[in-house]
């Protein structure tokens, strides 16, 4: 049996008005974006009308606080959280209640939690793990010094702010040690992180948090929790027996292995104290990033420039190996680009193009094993959703499936098709730019407008500055500037801007492949994201196989993100259902062996025309 009741049994609809008032202070708050839901609570942005300050509002229906122990638990959470203040703990800004709900005002962490990062990235690098673990340890040092045990340390309770600083939150299971040597006996926690002494019910103390830190570190480095199984009973049995192993395929250093082993000692008295952790070799003997770029939420950052302490402008500035391939140079014409570009933005594209237009170079580019894995997983998810005919499900509300935490970190907000000569240029939602050239090389410009990355056909990366590069790169850099200037001057941008600060740790996701049909443009990024922009009504869907979610951008540019598994149960509108069916067809195309001709075969054109007709019929 789970140590925590099932979420779907605990979350009840609460009557949450558009405006709420704190009866004690008279302050008025406007309900903003839906942020998600957890055990007892739904979370929305709550905006102070007077100051325009935005908080994360944790809202609990009083219908769930009927029994004395439920009220006591709520009071304990508020009392403990309001008593703490630390850089790496989610800020507590107040609470109040009305006749229907209790409202807790918390610091808004816009970058979500380590759980979302884990799902998008799976295993992350040791420098990143060191960065996040250090923040978590500092938070735990503060709590333990103040006689508080958190008792629910897990990826989902480690939040990230705009600066990528980690913030520990959710004090729903936290408790105080009133006297030295006191042992708590409540069975609580989250199964994959729960310590063996909690399961044994022989009393537990601060050491349970140390154990959970070990589970977190293992999960970040290996990509899955150490004791996870498909059966809760088996998971608990493995915890009691301390049965876990780091796969040989995982690149985990001896220092990291050693610290994990120390943290996951079955005997709580053999685990290190929280005050000694930062002295461990894992933290002292290797690189600790002072900051992480927000792009690491979706792609692996790079660390070499900082390790070597070389300024980014000096990296490859005079490296002749950064030159493009001869085939690529043959595609570039001398002189300036003719205007206007022979392309459209997602807001201006028309259906006058041919049914399929895929230049030879892109057709011949090989799919990586990772790319195929993403597409295979996505196809499986889409087949399952489409099979359930979600547009016909009418007994549940679509809102039940909404999950903003699964929203994409980056997506393509503008694009220009000039593949008849050069390639496809695009802008990401953070203001960065990229070009996928017809020779399958890629050139990326960070949102700071300075740092650039060039990727050869074989995946080799070269980093340099827009003001300092080898002469052999001049033509491609010039082309990227033309694409950038054209999109900035002529094309509209989709959705609200996502501010992602760039620095020399950042690495951007890039466009791996794309094609156009009469109805849409299909764009596949190397981080697994599949984006489809529909020409007729300018709607878009952004699919992430790692989050198993879809974001639907409607005609009014409203973003809604849904878990695909919940759409199966809750259903969705006909418009989204038809686009998911179309996405399934396009995913099959991406997985199918590609031809070596720049012109589509008749069978291909015919098949696509039939599918286009099907889409129109569904609408």
Cis peptide before 226 (omega within 30 of 0): no
Kindly write down the DSSP assignment for every residue of 125-186, as one continuous string: -HHHHHHHHHHHHHHHHHHHHTTEE----SGGGEEE-TT--EEE---TT-EE--STT--B--
Q: Is 430 a catalytic residue?
A: no
d(CA 517, CA 424) in angstroms, rounded, equals 15
Residue 258 near residue 218 (C-beta atoms within 8 A): no
Q: Is 84 left (phi over 0), alpha (psi -120 to 50) or beta?
A: beta
Q: Which DSSP state fits 270?
A: G
* Short-list 486, 453, 172, CA closest to 340: 486
Choice among 152, 170, 209, 503 that is catalytic: 152
What pairs with residue 342 in β-bridges?
Answer: none
d(CA 31, CA 24) in angstroms, rounded, equals 19
For residue 44, what is the enclosing H or E element? strand 41-48
Strand locations in 67-117 (E): 92-97, 101-106
Q: Show the tokens assigned to 164.
A: 């990528």
d(CA 191, CA 270) in angstroms, rounded, equals 22
What pairs with residue 47 in β-bridges?
Answer: 30, 54
Q: Is there a binding annotation on residue 599?
A: no
d(CA 544, CA 591) in angstroms, rounded, equals 16
Q: Is 514 left (phi over 0), alpha (psi -120 to 50) or beta?
A: beta
Coil, helix or strand for 461?
Answer: strand
Which value, to the nearest 10 degrees, does the dihedral of the CA atoms of residues 71, 74, 80, 82 take? -110
Catalytic center residues: 152
Indicate the annotated binding residues.
Answer: 58
Indicate the annotated binding residues for ATP.
Answer: 58
């Amino acid at each position: 049996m789970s140590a925590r009741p099932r979420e779907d049994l605990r979350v009840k609809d609460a009557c949450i008005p558009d405006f709420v008032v704190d009866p004690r202070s008279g302050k008025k708050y406007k309900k903003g974006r839906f942020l998600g839901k957890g055990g007892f609570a739904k979370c929305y942005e709550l905006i102070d009308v007077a100051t325009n300050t935005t908080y994360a509002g944790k809202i609990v229906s009083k219908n769930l606080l009927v029994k004395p122990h439920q009220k006591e638990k709520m009071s304990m959470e508020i009392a403990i959280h309001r008593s703490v203040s630390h850089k790496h703990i989610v800020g507590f800004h107040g609470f109040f209640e009305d006749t229907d709900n209790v409202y807790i005002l918390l610091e808004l962490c816009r970058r979500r939690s380590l759980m979302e990062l884990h799902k998008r990235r799976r295993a992350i690098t040791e420098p990143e793990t060191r960065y996040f673990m250090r923040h978590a340890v500092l938070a735990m040092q503060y709590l333990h010094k103040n006689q508080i045990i958190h008792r629910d340390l897990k990826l989902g309770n480690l939040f990230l702010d705009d600066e990528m600083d980690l913030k520990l939150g959710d004090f729903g299971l936290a408790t105080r040690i009133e006297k030295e040597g006191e042992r708590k006996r409540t069975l609580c926690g989250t199964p994959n992180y729960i310590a063996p002494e909690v399961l044994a019910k022989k009393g537990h103390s601060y050491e349970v948090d140390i154990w959970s830190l070990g589970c977190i570190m293992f999960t970040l480095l290996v990509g899955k929790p150490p004791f996870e199984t498909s059966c809760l009973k088996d998971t608990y049995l493995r915890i009691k027996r301390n049965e876990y192993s780091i796969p040989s395929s995982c690149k985990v250093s001896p220092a990291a292995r050693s610290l994990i082993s120390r943290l996951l000692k079955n005997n709580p008295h053999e685990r290190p104290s929280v005050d000694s952790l930062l002295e461990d070799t894992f933290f002292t003997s290797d690189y600790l990033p002072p900051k992480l770029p927000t792009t690491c939420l979706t792609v692996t950052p790079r660390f070499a420039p900082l390790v070597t302490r070389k300024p980014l402008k000096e990296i490859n500035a005079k490296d002749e190996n950064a030159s493009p391939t001869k085939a690529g140079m043959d595609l570039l014409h001398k002189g300036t680009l003719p205007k206007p570009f022979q392309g459209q933005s997602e807001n201006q594209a028309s259906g006058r193009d041919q049914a399929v237009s895929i230049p030879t170079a892109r057709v011949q580019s090989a799919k990586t094993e990772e790319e195929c894995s993403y597409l295979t997983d996505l196809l499986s998810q889409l087949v399952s959703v489409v099979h359930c005919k979600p547009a016909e499900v009418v007994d549940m509300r679509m809102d039940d499936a909404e999950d903003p935490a699964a929203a994409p970190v980056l997506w393509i907000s503008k694009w220009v098709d000039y593949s008849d000569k050069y390639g496809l240029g695009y802008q990401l939602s953070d203001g960065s730019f990229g070009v996928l050239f017809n020779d399958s090389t890629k050139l990326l410009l960070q949102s700071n407008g300075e740092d650039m990355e060039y990727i050869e056909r074989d995946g080799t990366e070269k980093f340099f500055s827009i003001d300092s590069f080898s002469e052999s790169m001049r033509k491609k850099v010039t082309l990227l500037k033309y694409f950038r200037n054209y999109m900035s001057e002529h094309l509209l941008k989709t959705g609200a801007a996502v501010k992602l600060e760039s620095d020399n740790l950042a690495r951007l996701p890039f466009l791996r492949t794309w094609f156009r049909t009469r109805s849409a443009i299909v764009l596949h990024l190397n981080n697994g994201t599949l984006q489809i922009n529909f020409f007729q009504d300018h709607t878009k869907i952004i699919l992430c196989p790692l989050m198993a979610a879809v974001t639907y951008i409607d005609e009014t540019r409203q973003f809604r993100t849904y878990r695909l598994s919940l759409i199966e149960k809750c259903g969705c509108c006909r418009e989204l259902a038809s686009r998911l069916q179309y996405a399934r067809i396009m995913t099959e195309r991406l997985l199918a062996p590609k031809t070596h001709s720049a012109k589509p075969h008749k069978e291909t054109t015919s098949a696509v025309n039939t599918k286009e007709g099907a889409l129109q019929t569904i609408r």
